[in-house]
A and B are shown apart, each in its own frame.
Chain A
């Protein structure tokens, strides 16, 4: 949608197309075909999204009707019991918490990487480094899961103990039975996984910064850091937010790595160093194989919730981006 408005305003500047930014082009055959195919692609996407939504609702309803507990507030997940009892509370909390923490850790690092590659690194190194970071995205998530399960959580065990001992007064790091298979470990792994997408998009955005702005700032005697502060970051803000939101989308939906790392203890807990926690996606991966009729419906219902959460998060992000596009 943003791009449509983009194109419209640009076309407006050049004096072509109407003010609404809807009808652009010359009316020649090529333009018509292109407009048609672009519109068809847009509609196809909406149709796919709607189909997924309808499918989720359709399959979730019977299970939700059989549910004996409040789906939104219950913490326990046991849809194959008689009677079925399941609720999304703990899963939704774990999903949002781990994704939010991952975003918190990944975004500054990703922007740092992007700035380094775009402005500080020697040319030859920059290209290689860019590839290397992007390569992180090519590692299958089960590899992150295995790495986490066999190696990383034993290391995080010590980190958790350290944080608990010295920063235990912060509620987030408090609590007892600290361990390496905690929400924090999962968040760190998620952060590593979403790093490439945020950094590569941010990099692209930084490349779009008008040279004139940069040169103007330099001409005024700004240091390199001041150039970044005055010209690059404000220009790239909406792009960086979009990139972070794409990363968040991946973190919300990540399945196997989280399922393998987290120990699934029961109950919502604010203590992120404790062994335990669960996410919607990880729960689906763990429970699907042995789930019965109701169990499968319940998992699909949880998928629907994830769908809605992602939608809300993305819409919020769009709203933020739309409000702050002074440079675009």
Chain B
């Protein structure tokens, strides 16, 4: 019996340890929020509204809905991070009040969405910006500089040594070792992968011939690790490794980040500021309050960091049932406000640039 109780205690330690550890294994880093973030001047609309869409903005939406509900008791938003495609489908089918999407509606989707909105156009409102950092593990080489073509060649497996002439050409001052380059990618499907591969395809067509997809292209090679946390762990263990994660993960783990050359020929490090600069260079392709953007990965804007993702909220400009429309307007008004955007830095995203945020606020005001 004595033996038994001791074993039970030991088992308890195991279980507690497992729980504590598995808590670390999750991909949500919704930490670091405090009561001071609770918004003070928001329009309160009570009710329950459903939304669905991109999982890349899940952490932002979760944080916003929590803070919004703190300010307005009785206001509940259910966001189902089912993916952009599923979100838009649910939106056009009339199942959700708005959708989150990694890309703006294409013409066919826009037509269906207009039908759903009783003949009124649907708008794409950029709301969340996620910078993607290129991280690496190479002792003695800080501030690695990479041209897009070099970056693409590394991830395509065409450059295999760190002292390759192409890397040396980008880094005239660095002492590059002759170690193997070990590219690491996400083993699961991920919006980060989709944006990163889209960027590579846009800026380095000769080196990167694969389509932008959530799943890493098999032929590109490299080794996979599960989720952003897994990528970070493996990178830390892998001398000569290189990978990509959302900026928050790079910052939180104090990893080496590479400076990427933008369209203006500058090597720029990833930061909220440098991504904001890039966002200012994006062209609006939507009409009026439809703020669909065309991201220019070769933007010549000075100080712009080129790899990032923008996720939209797809909403009906008019035509939602009144109580839903009221809630959506009030909620998005909060998320686009300075208070709302400030929250983003805590959960790993970058705020919209002031100019764009102002446009989004105008568009939200015009919802009815």
Contact = CB atoms under 8 A, between A and B. Distances in A.
A292 B230 contact: no
A194 interface: no
B21 A142 contact: yes
B223 A264 contact: yes
Interface in B179-203: 180, 182, 184, 187-190
B3 A131 contact: yes
Contacts of B3: 127-128, 131
B237 interface: yes
B223 A290 contact: no
Contacts of B10: 135
A144 to B, nearest CB: 10
B86 interface: yes
Interface stretch (B30-38, B214-222, B262-270, B297-305): B214-222
Contacts of B22: 140, 142-143, 146
Interface string A38-81: 00000000000000000000000000000000000000111011
Nearest to B217: A78
Contacts of A139: 14, 18
B17 interface: yes
A143 B18 CA distance: 6
A287 B223 contact: no
B330 interface: no
B25 interface: yes
A241 interface: no
Nearest to B86: A292
Contacts of B21: 142-143, 146
A266 B221 contact: yes
Contact of A266 (B25, B182, B219): B219
A263 B187 contact: yes
A292 B7 contact: no
Contacts of A285: 226
A131 B10 CA distance: 11
Given A263-B187, A290-B55, A290-B188, A143 B225 contact: no
A181 B223 contact: yes
Given A128-B3, A266-B219, A260 B230 contact: yes
A149 B230 contact: yes
Given A139-B14, A142-B21, A265 B222 contact: yes
A146 B25 contact: yes
Nearest to A157: B237
A80 B85 CA distance: 11
A179 B184 CA distance: 13
Contact of A265 (B86, B221, B226, B234): B221
B130 interface: no
Given A142-B22, A287-B189, A292-B86, A265 B11 contact: no
B190 A78 contact: no
A154 interface: yes
A143 B14 contact: yes
A167 B218 CA distance: 29
B215 A131 contact: no
Nearest to B193: A290
A246 interface: no
B143 interface: no
Contacts of A153: 237
Interface in A243-283: 259-260, 263-267, 275-276
B40 interface: no
A138 B11 contact: yes
Contacts of A80: 189, 213-215
A291 interface: yes
Interface in A114-157: 127-128, 131, 135, 138-140, 142-143, 146, 149-150, 153-154
A286 interface: yes
20 contacts: A80-B189, A135-B14, A140-B18, A143-B22, A146-B21, A153-B237, A154-B237, A177-B180, A177-B182, A263-B184, A263-B234, A264-B223, A264-B224, A266-B219, A286-B226, A289-B55, A289-B189, A290-B188, A290-B190, A292-B86
Q: 8 closest pairs, A vs B, by CB?
A: A263-B223, A264-B224, A290-B189, A266-B218, A264-B187, A286-B188, A140-B18, A143-B18
Given A138-B11, A146-B22, A286-B188, 14 more contacts: A80-B189, A80-B215, A81-B213, A135-B11, A140-B15, A140-B22, A149-B230, A259-B226, A260-B226, A263-B187, A267-B218, A287-B189, A289-B188, A295-B189
